[in-house]
Structure 1
Amino acid sequence: MNSKLILKGNDWKILDFIDEAWRTKQVESDEPTDPRPWVKATVPGSIHQDLWDNGIVPDPYFEQNSLMLEWIPQRSWVYRKTFFVEGGKEGSEARLHLHGIDYRAHIYLNGTLLGSHESMFVPAEYEVASHLRYGADNLLTVVLDPAPPSESQMGRTSKVGHTKTRMNYWWDFTPRMIHLGIWQEVYIAFSGPVTVEDIYIRPQLNMDYTRAEVSVDIELISRKAISAEIDLTIAHNGSQVAILTCSAQKLTEGVTKLEVMMPIDDPELWWPNGEGAQPLYQLTVSVRESGAEEVMYQRETEFGIRQVEFSPNETSHPTALPYTFTLNGRKVYVKGYNWVPIDVLYGVERLEKLEHLLTLAKEANVNLIRVNGVGLIETDAFYNLCNRLGLMVWQEFNLTSSAFNSKPKEDESFINQVIQEAESIIPLKRNHPSLVLWCGGNELESLDKLPLNEEEPVLAALKAIVKRLDPDRLWLPCSPSGPLPFNGINMSRNRPDDLHDVHGPWHHEGLTAQYTLFNAGANLLHSEFGADGLTNLKALEATLKPENRWPVTLHNPVWYHLGSWWVQEKQWRDIFGELSDLETAIEATQYLQAEGVRYAIERNRARKFRNSGVLPWMFNEPYPMAACTSAIDYFGRPKHLYYASAQAYNTVSVTAKFAKQAWANDLDFKAELWVTNGGTQDYTEAELHWSMEGDNGNGFASGMRRINVGANVADSFGDISCQLPKIHGNLFFLTLQLKMPSGIVIASNRYLFTTTENLQPMLDLPRTVLDIQSDCKGPNWSITVTNRGECAALLVRIDDERSLDAEGWGYISHSGFHLLPGESRTVTVVWKGTGTHSVLSVQALNADKRIVE
């Protein structure tokens, strides 16, 4: 029976060398001659983290300390590990697997060079049975060359001749920290003469989805001619649902390929989050020598049964690509987010944080994650979680844009490298049901700034490989896929039929322009856009000295280092006036970010299925940026954007389309009411209520209309208008509710407006008082917040009040909402892995913090 000797752990050692000086120090031998002490290291891991852990470099996540680590990728680094191999392993086949080396390495075992390897996404594998010492210690040595030169975001794609992730070299969401390390698992696999090298599972559904023909392609390698029996079993929920034995297979020395079909009646289908369940099946392949009972090799693979297709967008231009995702015959609107690695030091295992972030995505009604081409080919841990959480994955190959050109190299050696990597990567990922789309890369353009298609040599090569190795997956050449690359009001007005898959903008456009732009939306897929805001207070306190936290200005080198793209000082002053302190600046800028993205999502969803999806930039961040476009800060704590987008992604949403947020010198308020239903249920004779209130809660206009809402559609239900009276203060609200005839609320929404030219009245609102009623028994809490004051409570923020390094996480259902005087809202909180002591804080922009324990 096959087995593994796992070589991960914190008992590795590293040492740095300039260029190839390591070759003079016998580093691959049992007794290296370099006199310096070796540094303790962890695999999987990152060199930067190992040096930090050993006190050699400062905290790379604090202020400008990352500048003091920029020497690390300029050195060669030698990894060494001693491990014991039992004597009973003689006679077995043995293969060393290194699943991720970043980036170029030379691998030695017991002083013998096994080979050199270049690629962070393709595993390195070597036959090592003849090199092992049995019943004795062995020495594995991995020498990393210095990181290859590359281009930052402010560079030229045409100069990049490798596929190392480019975010390392400085991007808008992380400083320059060029990663090196053994960043994925390492082990030696022991086996008999036959191994199962690859399993490819292709479930094909019939027309009414009542039967799946599961095609299984198996690739075996035999070290000798042998007669074998191959047993295949498919299990689901602990029961076997299909069994097949391939008897007396004559395996010649070398590669043998088998293809079998295993039918499953009444399969349970895999659905995206919000559309249904995520059942998973397990395929076990066992190899026995003919006539023998003992299994000499066994491999298990998990898969799901589902059908994914692109359908044409409604009323789209005839030359447009289809962008509407259709799962199991049902159109599914993409409620997505762009995803970047969870840490710039991605070699360090952070499985709890990964699960937390993806759980947050599920809880926010997200159904698709776009893995941007500036990041990683994501890990199996990521994909396994997405399989279970119902998060579809749009995986891009590692090609991305640059400021000064975004055209990939065309030379043959580079394209061959991309081809070889894709031929290895695709089989490693293609059994995951969450993977629905391969994409050639991010924002790739011709020299005249137009999106590239399959006429570009490297994209033509990638498309051919995807269609050969994973023909059931969707494919896009790049994103945006054109004809025009970027979203803008002039393009929406003048060339609406040329806005297909588009990106941008990434800043709030202004209190009128933001609404003008998204009211005029014409794109078919909005796969990247966003708005910026400051990070959370605890994150700033953890990463900036007190003297550098305020004021927020790019004249401060620390703020420039941690937010040069995203600190919009002039815009924030224009919209809010002078911000008086850090906490006010956080609330104001996060509100602007949340409101801008929320409105963009709503207006895109209202155009379903002409528009087939919306994916803000970005969900998470790999480094604690002081200002960024992310919905979640580096420490896993949500910003206001997270909750605003979660509401906009509710299965049923009631929204308003209006011209602006600031209504100075305009007494004629107008809006158009919409309902978007992403579910399969119709709503007959529903009640659509609207009302308008001043900041003291007094209503001055209202109405109700009975409507019928169809399944999986978005519809307009007419205009509302009123004259703006002389109200208390300068703020007013539009409140919407969709109710069943029984009074059950299906969906609700609230918008804030001003009667002035900007949003400064938000900051001038009088203080109010929040009353808290709580039921805090066990891990499931219920918190009811009531506004006891005489004016509205703005941006009621409910936070995990524990320290950032506390164990576990709190999942909070709502935050960032407005409460009128006398109103209450109940929020649920689920604590996971936090032990017995959990703490919440409740506050508002104009209400003091309250602690709930």
Structure 2
Amino acid sequence: MSSKLCLNGDNWKVLDFIDEAWRTKQVESDKPSDPRPWITATVPGSIHQDLWDNGTVPDPYFEQNSLMLEWIPQRSWVYRKTFHVDAEDEGRCARLHLRGIDYSAHIYLNGTLLGTHEAMFTPAEYDVASHLRYGADNWLTVVLDPAPPSESQMGRTSKVGHTKTRMNYWWDFTPRMVHLGIWQEVYIAFSGPVTVEDVYVRPQLNADYSRAEVSVSIEVSSRQEISADIDLTIDHNGSEVASKIYSTQTLTKGLTKLEVMLPIEKPELWWPNGEGAQPLYELTVTVKETGSEEISSHRVTKFGIRQLEFSPNETSHPSALSYTLTLNGRKVYVKGYNWVPIDVLYGVERQEKLEHLLTLAKEANVNLIRVNGVGLIETDAFYDLCNRLGIMVWQEFNLTSSAFNSKPKEEESFISRVVKEAESFIPLKRNHPSLVLWCGGNELESLDKLPLNGEEPVLAALQATVKRLDPDRLWLPCSPSGPLPFNGINMSRNRPDDLHDVHGPWHHEGLTAQYTLFNAGANLLHSEFGADGLTNLKALEATLKPENRWPVTLQNPVWYHLGSWWVQEKQWQGIFGELPNLETAIEATQFLQAEGVRYAIERNRARKFRNSGALPWMFNEPYPMAACTSAVDYFGRPKHLYYASAQAYSTVSVTAKFAKQVWADELDFEAELWVTNGDTQDYTEVDLHWSMAGASGHTFASGQRTINVGANKAENFGDIGSQLPEITGKLFFLTLQLKMTSGVIIASNRYLFSTAENLQPMLELPRTTLEIHSECNGQNWSVSVTNSGEYAALLVRIDDERSLDAEGSVYISHSGFHLLPGESRTVTAVWKDAGNDSMLSVQALNADKRTVG
């Protein structure tokens, strides 16, 4: 008897109106009077996409075309859909669900106003049993108001009185495209006289994790006083592990709440990526009217069993909050990234892209994603994938900073609005095991530029709401949570005890300053930082005309539009000299970005658990920017940063701490050797090898020491040093390897240095030759790359050579590495849902492209 009528699809119609002119055109009736033709629309979707699909506006992702779409949110938009309801549905409960409307709307069914709704993250729900036409066609009309005025990144948070995502009003990683649309699913849920309204699952583990008491809170609604049977079962891997039946339960008219405790012996625990498996349990709640075999209503909820808490950081100041995540009794270092919506037009369903990006994150050893307050309260599809992939989620409420003040409104009406919306969507997210943390917002500050704490009115109200509705989740008032907001060398030296949770910097600090800053690291949690670089070549070719691709300069309006914050012309020229062409500029700037961020991760992680996590800004991008801080471009293709951070996040990493990347006029090189072990086992009597070689491959210094590495800790294993001889090409490399006595390599790393004043020798290194040998076993490829020339191959890039719109994806184990003469490296590539045209490219900064496939 319980069923669902899906109203999604591409058979909606839409038409624009100025202000409230739609009220004069009978748009809510079955025969609107407007003479214009309605265009086809898709739900879930975005009005910008509908207009583009119908040829009304140009490609908004190309050059400056987004400027020609800025009129769209100034109009009202009327969505209409006709649908059929079967005669046998009459007499049942029927509720219309609109899971996400962006932003405010009037909803009509068969000409009757059901209500108005304002809140993009709060579902709109209406009892429509008496409004439906059974055995006949029905029409649903949704009128979207113009988007509310708001502040871009260059505005004032204190002026924002709504809860619409602000990313679309212009941010440094996306142009102004203010979204409107029915952006989540629409359906009618039919049920019998009793409906399951909510299910809340709270597993609690005993001290030795051998037993879980699963507390289940159920809310059911009834149209009348009735006797019902309520059946609860928990299944795992196809087998029932717990159950409970409430027979002849008397339900009063309205809401009834039930509390049930179901024990599970020897539960399988949910772990983050890299720490263990991600088993999921399934709770099914079924309600039948007593004496009937028909199901009145049922709800299926997936959940995981795990224990979550914050532990104090090691040697932290007494005033500091606790930032160390502890899962199932084990400290877990946060190997994270900041996440933004996968598209500026987030209403358009892109399930394949979402799964691809989150799979990339998993493959890069990421275990937590911070969903920034400038973006979305993420969708169920996002959370479902994170549950399965073991990616923990730090979800921020949609409050964020601005350039000129970052303090939210204090008016009671605004706080009430924020709390009301939170009360609506927190219950929709709280059963996901991947959700570990609620945070009040992004970079919220007092008027004197210090991070807001839990005493700020809106944050205090949100904290109370989280504690009431989701008490098992962690909470932070905002990020950074202070007491000082930003990471800087003066603060690290002068006020290290006040660097708790900090942000920044977002640009590479320089070939010495970058290393000075992160060598002096004192923060307890580094929840946002990054560096900029150009996007990939194919992305630029897809979004810029040939005449606008080169030179890279903010004097070109197109480059300014697509990278005004991130094109660092003077810095790049000072570091590399004159960049000769676009391809070289891409490789050079991506190298600088990758080196800067990976060193920051390494030094943060070397301080575990004084420092409890690193989260670069940012993993993905919602728009094809020409330059920004992302690790993966808009089309889902990784940049060099992606692979550099993946190596820095390896379970076991061997790293060097050094003073700078350029050693002009220096006679000696010095570094410290560190090993960071994220494993649960010790490594005893393993060999730590180091060597230094020039670009010709000649080794001029090396050494070895046998060490013991403790489980889940980082340790310093002493200094190394060498005189710097005259080196061909003015480049040299430090190579590190951690080996078992059997010769098996546990971890490896390589750093590039210059004996000049900058990195211009990278561009002057003579060319070399790469030889490729590949073995293809279905979707699994093995590619061996050998440098057969006389000089090092710099930045060996292995990439998907197919067009950007090709089907499927590929996951490549390594890219962006350096090969000395005579060296080989084997890389794996795993294809998913790709056709027979699978092809890879292999090239280096100083070696021609080769193709495989």
Whether TM exceeds 0.5 here: the answer is: yes
User: Cα deviations across residues 145-202 of structure 1 (Å, max 9, x unaligned)?
Assistant: 0000000000000000001000000000000000000000000011111001000000
1:541 corresponds in structure 2 to: 541
1:396 and 2:391 aligned: no
Partner Cα distance (2:535, 2:83) in 1: 44
Partner Cα distance (2:303, 2:45) in 1: 29
2:772 corresponds in structure 1 to: 772
Partner Cα distance (1:669, 1:523) in 2: 27
2:287 corresponds in structure 1 to: 287
User: Cα deviations across residues 407-451 of structure 1 (Å, max 9, x unaligned)?
Assistant: 000001100000100000100000000000000000000000000
2:693 corresponds in structure 1 to: 693
Judge conservation of contact 2:192–2:295 (CA < 8 Å) in 1.
Answer: no
Partner Cα distance (1:708, 1:577) in 2: 44
**Alpha-carbon distance, 1:837 to partner:** 1.9
**Alpha-carbon distance, 1:297 to partner:** 1.3
Structure 1 counterpart of 2:69, one-letter code: L
Partner Cα distance (1:149, 1:193) in 2: 43
1:107 corresponds in structure 2 to: 107
Judge conservation of contact 2:729–2:764 (CA < 8 Å) in 1.
Answer: no
Partner Cα distance (1:636, 1:342) in 2: 9
Moved over 4 A (4+): none
Structure 2 counterpart of 1:375, one-letter code: G
Partner Cα distance (1:755, 1:451) in 2: 42
Partner Cα distance (1:564, 1:420) in 2: 37
User: Cα deviations across residues 211-257 of structure 1 (Å, max 9, x unaligned)?
Assistant: 00000000010010001111100000000000111222110000100
User: Cα deviations across residues 338-381 of structure 1 (Å, max 9, x unaligned)?
Assistant: 00000000000000000000000000000000000000000000
Partner Cα distance (2:537, 2:660) in 1: 30
1:66 corresponds in structure 2 to: 66
1:491 and 2:494 aligned: no
Residue aligned with 1:656, SS:
strand
Partner Cα distance (2:53, 2:292) in 1: 51
Partner Cα distance (1:294, 1:191) in 2: 10
Structure 2 counterpart of 1:594, one-letter code: A
| Structure 1 residues 2-401: aligned runs within 5 Å | 2-401=2-401
1:621 and 2:621 aligned: yes
Structure 1 counterpart of 2:245, one-letter code: T
Residue aligned with 1:131, SS:
coil
Residue aligned with 1:130, SS:
coil
Partner Cα distance (1:634, 1:132) in 2: 43
1:466 corresponds in structure 2 to: 466
Partner Cα distance (2:229, 2:42) in 1: 41
Partner Cα distance (2:438, 2:48) in 1: 31
Structure 2 counterpart of 1:655, one-letter code: T
**Alpha-carbon distance, 1:295 to partner:** 2.2
Structure 2: runs of 5 or more not aligned: none
User: Cα deviations across residues 20-49 of structure 1 (Å, max 9, x unaligned)?
Assistant: 000000000011110000010000000000
Structure 2 counterpart of 1:262, one-letter code: L
**Alpha-carbon distance, 1:668 to partner:** 1.2
Partner Cα distance (1:228, 1:777) in 2: 56
1:745 corresponds in structure 2 to: 745
Judge conservation of contact 2:48–2:345 (CA < 8 Å) in 1.
Answer: yes
Partner Cα distance (2:647, 2:368) in 1: 16
**Alpha-carbon distance, 1:777 to partner:** 3.0
| Structure 1 residues 444-593: aligned runs within 5 Å | 444-593=444-593
**Alpha-carbon distance, 1:833 to partner:** 0.6
Judge conservation of contact 2:309–2:327 (CA < 8 Å) in 1.
Answer: yes
User: Cα deviations across residues 709-754 of structure 1 (Å, max 9, x unaligned)?
Assistant: 0100000000001110112220000000000011100000000000
Structure 1 counterpart of 2:214, one-letter code: V
Structure 1 counterpart of 2:781, one-letter code: W
**Identity score, percent:** 84
**Alpha-carbon distance, 1:291 to partner:** 3.2
Structure 2 counterpart of 1:243, one-letter code: S
Partner Cα distance (2:181, 2:727) in 1: 62
Partner Cα distance (2:192, 2:288) in 1: 10
User: Cα deviations across residues 626-683 of structure 1 (Å, max 9, x unaligned)?
Assistant: 0010000000000000000000000000000000000001111000000000010110
Structure 1 counterpart of 2:556, one-letter code: N
2:820 corresponds in structure 1 to: 820
Partner Cα distance (1:229, 1:740) in 2: 61
**Alpha-carbon distance, 1:296 to partner:** 1.7
Judge conservation of contact 2:503–2:527 (CA < 8 Å) in 1.
Answer: yes
Residue aligned with 1:282, SS:
strand
Structure 2 counterpart of 1:558, one-letter code: V
**Alpha-carbon distance, 1:778 to partner:** 1.0
**Alpha-carbon distance, 1:294 to partner:** 3.0
**Alpha-carbon distance, 1:293 to partner:** 3.2
1:642 corresponds in structure 2 to: 642
Partner Cα distance (1:87, 1:468) in 2: 43
Residue aligned with 2:297, SS:
strand
2:851 corresponds in structure 1 to: 851
Partner Cα distance (2:216, 2:495) in 1: 47
Residue aligned with 1:245, SS:
strand
Residue aligned with 1:811, SS:
strand
Structure 2 counterpart of 1:79, one-letter code: Y
Structure 2 counterpart of 1:542, one-letter code: A
Partner Cα distance (2:102, 2:171) in 1: 19
Partner Cα distance (2:470, 2:504) in 1: 30
Structure 2 counterpart of 1:673, one-letter code: L
Residue aligned with 2:837, SS:
coil
User: Cα deviations across residues 454-483 of structure 1 (Å, max 9, x unaligned)?
Assistant: 110000000000000000000000000000
Structure 1: runs of 5 or more not aligned: none
Structure 2 counterpart of 1:509, one-letter code: E
Partner Cα distance (1:295, 1:70) in 2: 49
Moved more, 772-781 or 551-560: 772-781
2:426 corresponds in structure 1 to: 426
1:670 corresponds in structure 2 to: 670
**Alpha-carbon distance, 1:290 to partner:** 2.1
Residue aligned with 2:68, SS:
helix
Calculate the TM-score normalised by the size of structure 2.
1.00
Partner Cα distance (2:710, 2:815) in 1: 30
Judge conservation of contact 2:341–2:376 (CA < 8 Å) in 1.
Answer: yes
Partner Cα distance (1:276, 1:577) in 2: 47
Partner Cα distance (1:498, 1:562) in 2: 36
Partner Cα distance (1:730, 1:850) in 2: 27
State how many pairs are aligned.
853
Structure 2 counterpart of 1:614, one-letter code: A
Partner Cα distance (1:297, 1:418) in 2: 31
2:808 corresponds in structure 1 to: 808
Superposed CA RMSD:
0.5
**Alpha-carbon distance, 1:298 to partner:** 1.1
Residue aligned with 2:777, SS:
coil
Residue aligned with 1:776, SS:
strand
